[in-house]
Structure 1
Amino acid sequence: MSPCASKKRILVIDDSEAIHTDFRRILGPHQRRCQSDIDQLEEALFGSAPARATICDENAFEVDSAYQGQEGLVKIQAAMKAHQPYSLVFLDYRMPPGWNGAETLRRLREVDPSLGVVLCSAYSDYSWGELMREFRDLKLLKELRKPFNSQEVRQLALKLTGQGTSH
């Protein structure tokens, strides 16, 4: 199995296309940063080399999208059935007209109680205290306020998927 095949899978459940784009930019594979002049010239003359051009960013994630809670639940169920579960979910509090973040979280916990979830919002429809009383597990549930910082998102993802322990 190649190192790229073991990427951690993250599901973003949010009704905003821009948020999904941001998460992909922050968590997805990064382009090769240090291509030498000779590599650039070779690529310009002959095109990219087949095997050598494939680079795996070991801290990159496979990021998937759902735009409503119901769609997210279906994706999580399908991923579990296919034995390719998600490692983490970034979940919006507000996603009209469907389930809100708290209802989506209740449904996700019924399907996968051990799934890490980061609740994201600029609003506070629920107090963090209320959510903690209901869901209780601080290791599997975190909060992220919008607008969020790219570094904070990346650090949360690394930590909650177990990739941040060796750094």
Structure 2
Amino acid sequence: MSERVSKRRILVIDDSEAIHQDFRRLLAPDHTEGRKALDLMEEELFGVAPPLESFPALDLEVDSAMQGQEGLEKVRQAQAEGQPYGLAFLDYRMPPGWNGLETLRHLRKVAPTIPVVLCSAYSDYSWEKIREEFPDSRLLIELKKPVRRDQVRELVSTFLG
């Protein structure tokens, strides 16, 4: 008897299309010849990363939002459809709309238990101040850019099993 396993859903909220592509490549890899060539170029630029084959296979659906408002709407829609996101990666800076902190405030109102990983190369807010406003440490993690493949995969495995 074969049991159908549903995909686990991740939402990436970031104003950079390149970041969305990076997350898709890390979490839902496409093993085409073109993909392998791009991986080789990436190794030349950034050094050798552990091969994707060294990570357990993840059955994930990676969705994207370019701004906080769009992300909030996607979270609402996913909940209404009975297909909520299990994890969100959220950028701090997303001009011209809401920043990551403002987006997080809105997300917590409609999806208070979704784990959120705040990602940024910048420190616009102190982590201590953010923790004061959002004290549930199980649901909020900070990840500095540039992110590493193993960090992202470990977070996904931790939160989505």
TM range (shorter): 0.7 to 0.9
Please give the alpha-carbon distance, in whole angstroms, between the structure 2 residues aligned to 1:60 and 1:94: 29
- Greater gyration radius: 1
- The residue number in structure 1 matching 2:12 is 12
SS of the residue corresponding to residue 89 of structure 2 reads strand
Please give the alpha-carbon distance, in whole angstroms, between the structure 2 residues aligned to 1:105 and 1:25: 25
Residue 2 of structure 1 aligns to which amino acid in structure 2? R
Please give the alpha-carbon distance, in whole angstroms, between the structure 1 residues aligned to 2:155 and 2:30: 18
Runs of 4+ in 1 over 4 A off after TM superposition: none
Matched, 1:111 2:113: no
- Segments of 5+ residues of structure 1 without an aligned counterpart are 33-56
Question: Contact between 1:9 and 1:88, CA under 8 Å: does it hold in 2?
Answer: yes
Q: Residues 122-161 of structure 1: CA distance to partner in whole angstroms, max 9, x if unpaired?
A: 0011010000000001100001000110110110111012
Structure 1 residue 30: deviation in Å? 5.2
- The residue number in structure 2 matching 1:102 is 101
Query: Once superposed, what is the RMSD of the aligned Cα atoms?
Result: 1.5
Question: Contact between 1:89 and 1:116, CA under 8 Å: does it hold in 2?
Answer: yes
Could you tell me the TM-score, scaled by structure 1's length? 0.78
Please give the alpha-carbon distance, in whole angstroms, between the structure 1 residues aligned to 2:23 and 2:124: 23
Could you tell me the TM-score, scaled by structure 2's length? 0.81
SS of the residue corresponding to residue 144 of structure 1 reads strand
Q: How many residues align?
A: 136
Question: Contact between 1:30 and 1:60, CA under 8 Å: does it hold in 2?
Answer: no
- The residue number in structure 1 matching 2:58 is 59
SS of the residue corresponding to residue 143 of structure 2 reads strand
Over the matched positions of the two proteins, sequence identity in percent amounts to: 60
